[in-house]
Amino acid sequence: MTALFAGLTTLDVLHRLDHVPDPGLKVTSTDFTMAAGGPATNAAVTYAALEAGARSLSTDEAVAGSPDHATRADAPLLLTALGEGPVSAFLAADLAVAGVRVLDATTPAPTATSIPGLPVSTASSPAEAAAPTYRSTPPDERDAAQASAPREPAVSSIIEHPSGRMVASTNARLDADPACVAADLPERVGVVLIDGHNPALAQAALTLGVPEVGGEDPFARLEARPPHLRVLDGGSWKDWLTPLLGFVDVAVVSEDFAPPLLARADGEQVVGFLRGFGITRVVRTRGERPVQYWWDGVHGEVPVHEVPNASTMGAGDAFHGAFVWALERAGATDPERLIRFASAVAGVSVSSFGTRQWLTSPVLAELVRAW
């Protein structure tokens, strides 16, 4: 059994500077890395590192870099859209090395016969092939647009400097069709996490394992819960989330998560909104300030340890991946223990540049050992 993560995958190109850049000058970075990114993707990579660390405690298996690591049955699954082309190939290879199995649900492109002006070959012999025929009626305009649109993942360029971070992104989203990989989804998972960046993927993940129900009760499917827990990574509000909130068991949100009519929402307001959808377990991260939680009627805070010279790229994603890993093992009975562990892992992630160097930190191994 393993965890399922559903959401966005991007190519993250990161540079680090030791000074605030002058926009009129070319600069040379002091560090550089390039890796698959995105909230659900980084969370899955974190989970894979923790899982590998746990296995290394009882076996002689290497923590990372094992050639068959990504093919293990317990490797985390990432339901995403990778697209096509060299960037997508790089992302697939990077995730394989990280120990993440990918279910690429990119919507298949229309066939060449859908493009206006291209020959439609129906030849059954070489002689017939010599006289190509053409479509007699124009194809649907949407098919033509899809066929000509780039089928590449989003690319984010990030420059980290002493005063903050600069980000430029293509902000492209590939269409996804979970039905094309439905046969590859497991019957059972430990925990599901969605990051809110693709409604089709989120719905497929949240409804995985939900029993079919009959009758006319519109709420029956919401009440027919699967045996595993479903977690929302609520970095920010998405308008299409509303009909899916009833399928969420645990919401891990940031201060930027502001539902409709709550543009400057505080924690209590957000919790009240989510409670209306039956979500009684909410964790709210606030950067370097204590993490808040509301858990089955109990409210509290967990302090966060300050890390000097922190590189915060992907810290929230590391928190979510560690939270899922711990939740799968300990269940939902002790929120403070879950938060302490996830915060400690996130603390390791900000102690080095980028989203990969920290995965081999001996501190991370010690956290797994202490768990």
Q: pLDDT, tens digit, for every residue of 295-330?
A: 999 999 999 988 887 888 899 999 999 999 999 999
Give the closest residue to 314 by CA, choosing from 284, 280, 250, 357: 357
Q: What CA dihedral angle connects 37, 43, 48 and 49, to 10 degrees?
A: 90
Question: What is the predicted pLDDT for the residue at 194?
Answer: 98
Shortest CA distance to 247 belongs to which of 281, 295, 211, 279?
279
Closest alpha carbon to 198 in 229, 172, 223: 172
Mean per-residue pLDDT, 8-37: 91
- H-helix segments, the chain: 39-56, 86-98, 126-129, 141-148, 199-206, 220-223, 267-275, 315-330, 335-349, 362-370
Residue 336, SS3 per DSSP: helix
Instruction: Give the mean pLDDT of 114-122.
Output: 44
Instruction: Give the integer Cα–Cα distance in Å for 154 and 37.
Output: 10
| Residue positions counted in the chain | 371
Specify the pLDDT at position 123. 47
Neighbouring CB atoms inside 10 A of 229's CB total: 21
Q: 65 falls in which pLDDT band (50, 70, 90)?
A: very low
Residue-level pLDDT at 115? 42
| CA-CA-CA-CA dihedral for 194, 199, 204, 209, to nearest 10 | 60
- Name which residue leads in pLDDT, 123 or 342: 342
Does residue 170 register a pLDDT over 80?
yes
The region of weakest confidence among 76-85, 157-166, 224-233, 290-299 is 157-166
The residue type at 39? P
- With pLDDT > 70 as the criterion, what percentage of the chain qualifies? 84
Least confident of 51-55, 115-119, 142-146, 223-227: 115-119
CA-to-CA separations, 148 to 12, 137, 152, in angstroms, rounded: 25, 19, 12
- pLDDT confidence of residue 370: 94
Distance CA 101, CA 75 (A): 6
Average pLDDT of 200-219? 86
49 touches 363 (CB < 8 A): no
* Residue 134 pLDDT greater than 60, yes or no: no
Given a cut of 50, whether residue 70 has pLDDT beyond it is no
Position 163 confidence tier, pLDDT thresholds 50, 70, 90: confident
With 70 as the cut, is the pLDDT of residue 195 above it? yes
Q: What is the pLDDT of residue 63?
A: 43
Both tokens assigned to 136: 């007699």
Which residue in this structure is represented by tokens 């039956």? 278
Instruction: Indicate the residue type of 210.
Output: V
The domain locations on the chain are 4-8+39-110+174-370
Return the minimum-mean-pLDDT range out of 146-150, 191-195, 364-368: 146-150
Q: 218-237 pLDDT, tens per residue?
A: 677 778 889 999 999 999 99
Q: What is the DSSP letter of 285?
A: E
Q: What is the pLDDT of residues 249-270, one digit of tens each?
A: 999 999 999 998 776 678 999 9
Instruction: Give the separation between CA 79 and CA 49, rounded to whole angstroms.
Output: 18
- Axis-axis angle for helices 86-98, 39-56 (nearest 10): 30
Fold classified for 4-8+39-110+174-370: UDP-N-acetylmuramoyl-L-alanine:D-glutamate ligase (3.40.1190)
**Is pLDDT of 129 > 80?**
no
Rounded CA separation 75/48 (Å)? 6
Work out the pLDDT band at 276, boundaries 50, 70, 90. very high
Interhelix angle 335-349/315-330, nearest 10 degrees? 140
The mean predicted confidence, pLDDT, of the chain is 85
For residue 64, pLDDT over 50 is answered with no
Name the pTM for this structure: 0.86
Asked if 195 contacts 235 with a C-beta cutoff of 8 angstroms, the reply is yes
Task: Return the minimum-mean-pLDDT range out of 62-71, 85-94, 263-272, 351-360.
Answer: 62-71
Select from 209, 300, 213 the least CA-distant residue to 249.
Answer: 209
Given a contact cutoff of 8 angstroms between Cβ atoms, the answer to whether 355 and 312 are in contact is no
Look at residue 213 in the predicted model and tell me its pLDDT: 78
Q: How far apart are the first and last CA of the chain?
A: 19
Residue 122 contacts residue 133 (beta carbons within 8 Å): yes
Q: Which residue would you say has higher pLDDT here, 79 or 217?
A: 79
Structure tokens at 307: 């890390």
